[in-house]
Amino acid sequence: MYHYNDFDRDFLAERNAQFRAQVERRIDGSLSEDEFKPLRLMNGLYLQLHAYMLRVAIPYGTLNSAQMDQLAMIADKWDKGYGHFTTRQNIQYNWPKLRDVPDMLDALGEVGMHAIQTSGNTIRNVTADHFAGAAADEIEDPRPVAELLRQWSTDHPEFQFLPRKFKIAVTGAEQDRAVTKAHDIGLRMVRNDAGEPGFEVIVGGGLGRTPMVGKVLRDFLPKADLLPYCEAIVSVYNLLGRRDNKYKARIKITVHENGIDEIRRLVEDRFALLRPEFSGVDQEMLAGIEAQFAPPAFTQASVAPFKAAYHENPAFRSWVDTNITKHRNDDYAIVSISIKKHGDTPGDATSEQMRVMAAITREFGHDELRISHEQNVILPHVHKSHLPQIYARLRDADLATANIGLISDIIACPGMDYCALATARSIPVAQKIATRFDALKLEHEIGQLKIKISGCINACGHHHVGHIGILGLDRAGVENYQITLGGDGTETAVIGERAGPGFAYDEIVPAIERLIYAYLDLRNDAEETFLQTYRRLGMAPFKSALYPEKEAKNAA
């Protein structure tokens, strides 16, 4: 993985010193809140309902054990002993004090981490496939390109005051695990007819109040053209994007209002101007970055201990069947550590759990961890012979829940328990759904199902692309939850369809239960997933299950 050089370290130290001075000037009254707010946001510091919140970037979701240990230290020293992993592969601390934040940023800097551009109208943390470099279906590891984009976009002088925030996601695999079609720019690695790797460039996707699936701007972009092409897109948007209306300022609206063909024409014109300005330094830097992302030295050993444990221990077998993904190396496995224990807060890990995961990867995982946009932690490279020991250690730390991809593996934004923008709570809804289906012992019977919950229309919880999406709203001073069905965040992306009127806080879990029982009745067989059944039958039977009174009235 990428290691900071002197330039990175100096840049970060200078930036942190600047912010320390800005905090001092705010406290001594030289800066008003109006002056200070954009400065703190540029450094990832929000003010939420009950406290400040510091959002730390985990670039493309990759970190090593020393970084995870440092995140745990920060949680203990300046927060309440835990951190919240987010849908953009970041970590948020919910309780920092203003005076402590400069020290927290310095502590992050010690391990090559920062909170720069985790807020504001800038290019945000570049996200990537959390199985990058390990997945069996990958053309190339997308992270060197993500790192190049991070370096290019960080403090880019032209792009510090965009019309609105700007999010880039990149994947090197056929299966889209990075939700590229719901990003301002989505990059999917593909091969051209000559077999050379390049990118399909998708633009104008996004969720929020106006959800849109991104459109293809270029079928094939050679790798070497990536930076000038992205620069062309962002600079066209910078001029054309609407600054008169915050709700129409994202590039998805720019694309929608101008049409993809006009955007393509403008981008290609701009690209023609910019391309000669790139002398190839970026490609030299990329080569240097790529060398740092070389695959680990895979261990050669017998997988017999794994096979024996799999045969003997049913709990281990269930965990393996649910939480393990095929690695490109047959003797290896990708482990998804569930941060979704039934009844716990999705994405929250204690400092002790962070240290356990750091220790495991230091010993068994080639010192790498990933944060997934689904708010879980990944061990990307594990030799199968080590799986029984890893499982035992995870179990002791309450981290061995076998529910990846199942009904309790819920994405939930912080909602009104923390967020100042939220209109309803998300976390307790996720907790209750998980606890309920665990009690019913139906989770594995139900199979693959993605529930995603947002506590407001901004859709941080990705509800539009949940197979079942839940959106919490404030209806006349009461929490109300709308259900959408049939959403999909993968390469076959679809925005979910609203099922009907919303449900009160104490009605939402029973409503989900009716929906699930309807699915179990309707599916062709156990192999047909919820999404497949929905696609086959459409909304009607699920609507009847959700609104039985209406059904009864119609029949009468």
Partner 1 sequence: MSKPFSPKVVTANDLLEGDVVYLAADDTWVRDLQDAEIIEDEAIADLRLLDASAQSDVVVGVYLIDVIRDEAGLQTTHFREEFRTKGPSNYNHGKQVELS
Interface pick for partner 1 out of 9, 77, 99, 307 (rule CB under 8 A): 99
Name the amino acid, one letter, at 66.
A
Interface pick for partner 1 out of 13, 21, 287, 478 (rule CB under 8 A): 478
Residue corresponding to tokens 């039934």 = 342
What tokens does 324 get? 């393990």
For residue 56, the cross-strand partners are: 91
Stretch that binds partner 1, among 124-132, 246-254, 395-403, 416-424 (CB under 8 A): 416-424
Cβ-proximal residues to 287 (8 Å cutoff; 6+ apart), any chain: none
**Residues 321-340 within binding reach of partner 1 (CB under 8 A):** none
Cβ-proximal residues to 251 (8 Å cutoff; 6+ apart), any chain: 164, 166, 184, 203, 204, 206, 233, 237, 241
Note whether 98 binds partner 1 by CB under 8 A.
yes
Interface pick for partner 1 out of 64, 67, 345, 454 (rule CB under 8 A): 345
**Residues 114-173 within binding reach of partner 1 (CB under 8 A):** none
Note whether 250 binds partner 1 by CB under 8 A.
no
* Beta strands across the sheet bearing 62-63: 62-63, 369-371, 377-383, 332-337, 324-326
Interface pick for partner 1 out of 17, 27, 392, 526 (rule CB under 8 A): 27
Q: What are phi and psi of 28, to 5 degrees?
A: -85, 0
Nearest to 528 by CA among 471, 445, 452, 470: 445
The CA-atom distances, in angstroms, between 412 and each of 375, 417, 456, 500 are: 9, 11, 11, 21
Least distance between partner 1 and beta carbon 155 (Å) = 26
- Taking the least distance from each CB to partner 1, the nearer of 95 and 166 is 95
Note whether 427 binds partner 1 by CB under 8 A.
yes
Stretch that binds partner 1, among 58-66, 243-251, 359-367, 412-420 (CB under 8 A): 412-420
Interface pick for partner 1 out of 3, 32, 245, 524 (rule CB under 8 A): 32
**Residues 38-97 within binding reach of partner 1 (CB under 8 A):** 47-52, 80, 94-97
- Taking the least distance from each CB to partner 1, the nearer of 47 and 66 is 47
For residue 411, the cross-strand partners are: 452
Cα–Cα distance between 503 and 404 in angstroms, integer?
27
Q: Where are the alpha helices (DSSP H) in 496-539?
A: 508-522, 530-537
What is the C-alpha R_g of the chain? 23
- Taking the least distance from each CB to partner 1, the nearer of 332 and 418 is 418
Interface pick for partner 1 out of 59, 479, 529, 545 (rule CB under 8 A): 479
- Taking the least distance from each CB to partner 1, the nearer of 79 and 129 is 79
Interface pick for partner 1 out of 140, 331, 474, 497 (rule CB under 8 A): 474
- Taking the least distance from each CB to partner 1, the nearer of 386 and 425 is 425
Can you give the binding site for partner 1, defined by CB under 8 A? 26-27, 29, 32-33, 47-52, 80, 94-99, 345, 348, 416-418, 425, 427-428, 431, 474, 477-479
